[in-house]
Structure 1
């Protein structure tokens, strides 16, 4: 009986303690805070210019996008300055995008910002990082979409990853590639066109935390085939007889690494691609023509991917993660030796194998 009463008293004590702890917590009422959906960083006369974006919900049910800017030498002080200018506390719990102006990402580097985002427990790992072809402020100041600019930009990235030519990317993947030996990170590039139009205009390749190269829009699919295990996108090819467009519905990449006297001599990248024909300008798509298309597309993809890899080797940058693959099969892997002397000179061959699984719609 005594033991039972002791357990009851212990339970009541814990319950009362939890009640008091809950009462001491700092509540955040939704109407009394500004929930940031986007942050931008630009370079302004060698200082950091920050732009915070948050939605303001109007009585008629519409969303007005509000931005606050501040400039300082230190990134954390930029946030403090923006807090001072805001009528309500700025919180990051629903942050959708962080945009870096091209000049900022090229000259200053973005690691300090990425590191602080990773350390913030309220920021999700699937947050999208973006490089702006121009300033971050000009994109965040746009009134886009019915649910707010931050939500619109996040949906734009997500759509292009799932069904278009943009390889998968987010805060977690960028940070992982940044810290990983044998792979360099990359981010999508956004560009403002016209009055209220934003587009994905390419992919920014980073060396450490600075942009070193930009892949144009028309080369994005080939880059995606090299870096993503599962790719979707479209590609067109033309010869003297006809023009055709196919859509990639699945792809898989395999590396074969050949060594000579313990040193990597050749690397073969096999890319298996399943595709469907979207457009064909010839008269009739027979089985013979299908086989010819498969070869034409394979040759075209091989040429484009090879050109990209040669550029990466010249720049000593490795977004495809070839060094990571070599490390996985090399005992005592020396990353400095690989990056400086081996990677730029190793022979890399791309071997695409295109299989067209559907042609019925064209026929």
Structure 2
């Protein structure tokens, strides 16, 4: 009897439970998949790219643009130009022009995205080398909708280790975390194709500082310990020659030791790499030459990583996140320089200690 009463009570509660008070049909919505931000003289130029669900429409993607002083203002203007309500809950990509980032921090423009809980904070944040308009109006009919194409290109490049993958929520952390500087995917239009060119590095103020090419981006991921998947890397048998050898980094681990000596931080970055050989352009007897080849590869990895570290120090940046180790292990010294960590890191002594082990040579020896 008691069980029947509980079942009856549940049915009554379900009947009385209110449903969705506001309905929004796809035909009445403007679902933004790509948001573009660029600078045009003294105003901001904002782009929205959204799919069109109306069966009678010939174009299946609608791109609208407006200029204004804030993202909120331009969104209101775009609302007045679209046939449906602008919805940001499916946002996949945020494109920011490099010319905008050279002048200012673009993060305050994105504040509106964090104010509304319906907005998507997993969108990929990407720097565009050149006018954002060129990417927004790129012809992607043979590949799919613009939002999906950009998403897939960045995801693929990230898996291949040729760029970083930074989402909006991660960008928020990088902006406000004093122990690290922001690093974003970078793309451009090349031969009418959307192409990922590497990684854009921002300074502590959120402005554009410099860029890393695809190979330097791979090394950055290696130093960050962020090579979760197999990452390709091309090296030379001897420095300066054409005898190249390509490897896949199958497994890697990074261990950072931190110290403070003679008024500056000292970091020793130990890297252990397990690699597979994918290509060689010179004859070699692997059974006899493996130890020597591993030694040469270690020297080359060390040299390439040290060059990257010098470039980062020159611009007073820390995309590696060495500030995390400094604060954890040498808090007193870190506290004195936290407001100028980039400057302190530029004076730090950083050594790279790689260990490369070739585990696989492919089918052919």
User: Do Structure 1 and Structure 2 share a fold, with TM-score over 0.5?
Assistant: yes
Instruction: Measure the CA separation in 2 of the matches of 1:63 and 1:355.
Output: 53
Identify if the C-alpha distance between structure 1 residues 89 and 286 changes in structure 2 by more than 3 Å, giving closer, same or farther. Answer: same
Give TM-score, length-normalised by structure 2.
Answer: 0.88
User: How much does 1:117 deviate?
Assistant: 2.2
Further displaced range: 164-173 or 65-74:
164-173
Q: 1:348 aligns with which of 343, 347, 350?
A: 350
Q: Is the 8 A contact 2:27 2:53 kept in 1?
A: no
| 2:136 match | 140
Alignment of structure 1 residues 1-363 onto 2, 5 Å: 12=12, 15=14, 18-19=17-18, 22=19, 25-57=21-53, 59=55, 64-144=60-140, 146-195=143-192, 197-207=193-203, 208-231=205-228, 232-238=230-236, 239=238, 240=241, 242-260=243-261, 265-332=265-332, 333-334=334-335, 335-336=337-338, 339=341, 342-363=344-365
Structure 1 unpaired stretches of 5+:
none
Instruction: Measure the CA separation in 2 of the matches of 1:163 and 1:192.
Output: 20
Give TM-score, length-normalised by structure 1.
Answer: 0.88
CA RMSD of the aligned region, Å? 2.8
Instruction: Measure the CA separation in 2 of the matches of 1:135 and 1:92.
Output: 23
Further displaced range: 160-169 or 200-209:
160-169
Further displaced range: 222-231 or 179-188:
222-231
Identify if the C-alpha distance between structure 1 residues 168 and 98 changes in structure 2 by more than 3 Å, giving closer, same or farther. Answer: closer
Instruction: Measure the CA separation in 1 of the matches of 2:159 and 2:95.
Output: 20
Instruction: Measure the CA separation in 1 of the matches of 2:36 and 2:242.
Output: 49
User: How much does 1:100 deviate?
Assistant: 0.5
Instruction: Measure the CA separation in 2 of the matches of 1:73 and 1:60.
Output: 35
Structure 2 unpaired stretches of 5+:
none
Cα-to-partner distance string for 1:4-48 (whole Å, 9 max, x where unaligned): 99x988984x556533xx36x221111211211101011011210
Cα-to-partner distance string for 1:329-352 (whole Å, 9 max, x where unaligned): 123331436626532211100111
Further displaced range: 150-159 or 218-227:
218-227
User: How much does 1:63 deviate?
Assistant: 6.9
User: How much does 1:193 deviate?
Assistant: 1.1
Q: Is the 8 A contact 1:280 1:362 kept in 2?
A: no
User: How much does 1:126 deviate?
Assistant: 2.2
Q: Which runs of 4+ in 1 moved over 6 A?
A: 7-11, 60-63
User: How much does 1:61 deviate?
Assistant: 11
Cα-to-partner distance string for 1:193-216 (whole Å, 9 max, x where unaligned): 113x11111211011321111112
Cα-to-partner distance string for 1:205-235 (whole Å, 9 max, x where unaligned): 0113211111123322112212243254222
Cα-to-partner distance string for 1:76-130 (whole Å, 9 max, x where unaligned): 1011111111111121121110100111122132111333323332233321010
Q: Is the 8 A contact 2:160 2:232 kept in 1?
A: no
Identify if the C-alpha distance between structure 1 residues 337 and 55 changes in structure 2 by more than 3 Å, giving closer, same or farther. Answer: closer
